[in-house]
Homo-oligomer: A and B are copies of this chain.
Amino acid sequence: MSRSINLAVIPGDGIGQEVVAQGLKVLNAALPQDVKLETKEYDLGAQRWHRTGETLPDAELEALKNHDAILLGAIGDPSVPSGVLERGLLLKLRFAFDHFINLRPSKLFPNTESPLAGNPDIDFVVVREGTEGPYTGNGGSLRTGTPAEVATEVSLNTAYGVERVVRDAFERADSRPRKKLTLVHKTNVLVYAGHLWKNTFDKVAEEYPDVTTDYLHVDAATIFLVTDPGRFDVIVTDNLFGDILTDLAAAVSGGIGLAASGNVNPTGDFPSMFEPVHGSAPDIAGQGKADPTATVLSVALLLRHLGYEDRAVRIEDAVSADLAERDGTPRTTDEIGDALAVRVAG
C-alpha cells in the first residue's frame, strides 16, 4: 500500500465545490499520519465550458491518468445544453478510464428516515456496469428536426464487458455474509443483450457454489425495492438499469444526500473515480445547504479502494454515529463536515 496519495479533485458544478471541500476535510482527518496526501484541483465543468468551450481536453485527460484516484463533486448546469457535460466530461472519464465497475452501496443508516413505511432493513450494493449498454453514445438521428426524423440509440454489450462485471459482482457477493446475488435485466424484451447477460451470469455462477442467485426483470426489481428492499444483497446490472435502480435505491435508503459511488477500474490501469450519486443541485448551490455526507461516504469508498480498509470503516462509522445523534437541528454543509472530521480523527 502506497504511503502517499496523489489525488485529483474535480469539484465541478453547483454544490460540487462545497461538498468536495468537506470530503477532503474528512479525508485529511482519516488518513494515517505518515500518509502524504497531495491534491491537484482540475477546473472542469460548466464554467470552464462557458469560458473555453472545452469539456475535457486531451492534456487534462492525460494528466488525470497520473493520479492514484479522482474525487469528483458534481457535474451539470442548466445553462449548458443537456448531454454536453455528461457525455463530454463525466461519461468521458468513466469510459476513458474504463470504469467498468460502478459501485453503489445502499444502506439505511440509524435515525434516518426512509420514504418507505416500517423502517425496513436496507443494506445492499449495486454493481452497475459502467462502460457499455446504452451509454456508449452509439446512435444517431436522420432528417433531424423534420416530421420524418428517425433517432436511434444503440445498446452495445460484449461478452468481455459483461463477464468482467459479473465476476466482480460474484466476488463481492461471495465475501458478504448473506452471499446473495441478483441479476437485473429485461431479458423478455431485450432478448439479445438479455441472453448475453443471463448466459454469462449462469456460467460464472457455477464457479461460486456458495452464492445464491436470482434474476429479476428491471420493472419487477423496482417493485421489490419499495416493497421488500431487504431481499437484496448484491445486485448486478446493466449501465442504464443501474442508473435507474440506484437513484431509487438511494431514495428509499434515506435520500441521495447520503448515496456514495465509486467508478472503479479494479485492474489499476487507470485511476478510479469517486463521486456522490446526487447532481449539482444548482438551486441550493453556494448556500451551505448541501449535505456533504454522500461525498464523505464516497471518500470512504476511495480509501477502501486504495487499501485503507480500516480508515474507510472509520469514516462509515463516523457517518453512522453522526446520523444516529442528529436531533433535527439544521446544520450547514460545513458543520456536517466538521462534525464528521472530528469523529474520524477522534
Residues of A within 8 A of B (CB): 76, 82-83, 86-87, 91, 113-118, 134-135, 137, 139-141, 143-160, 163, 186-196, 198-199, 218-220, 222-223, 225-227, 240, 243-244, 246-248, 250-252, 255-256
- Cross-interface CB contact of A150 among B158, B188, B191, cutoff 8 Å: B158
A154:B157 contact, CB within 8 angstroms: no
Do most interface residues of chain A lie in helix, strand or loop, or is the interface mixed?
A: mixed
Closest to A279 in B: B220
Known: A192-B139, A223-B251. A152 touches B151 (CB 8 A): no
Cα–Cα, bound, A251→B221 (Å): 11
Cα–Cα, bound, A199→B198 (Å): 36
Closest 8 A-B residue pairs measured CB to CB? A219-B247, A149-B159, A222-B248, A153-B155, A83-B191, A151-B196, A151-B192, A223-B251
- Cross-interface CB contact of A192 among B140, B195, B222, cutoff 8 Å: B140
- Cross-interface CB contact of A155 among B134, B144, B196, B248, cutoff 8 Å: B134
- Cross-interface CB contact of A115 among B116, B135, B160, cutoff 8 Å: B116
Q: With a CB–CB cut-off of 8 A, which chain B residues contact A189?
A: 83, 86-87, 91, 134-135, 240, 243
Given contacts A114-B117, A141-B192, A248-B248, 18 further A-B contacts (CB under 8 A): A82-B187, A82-B188, A83-B188, A86-B188, A115-B117, A115-B226, A116-B116, A117-B118, A134-B189, A145-B199, A147-B160, A149-B196, A150-B156, A151-B193, A153-B157, A153-B190, A186-B240, A223-B247
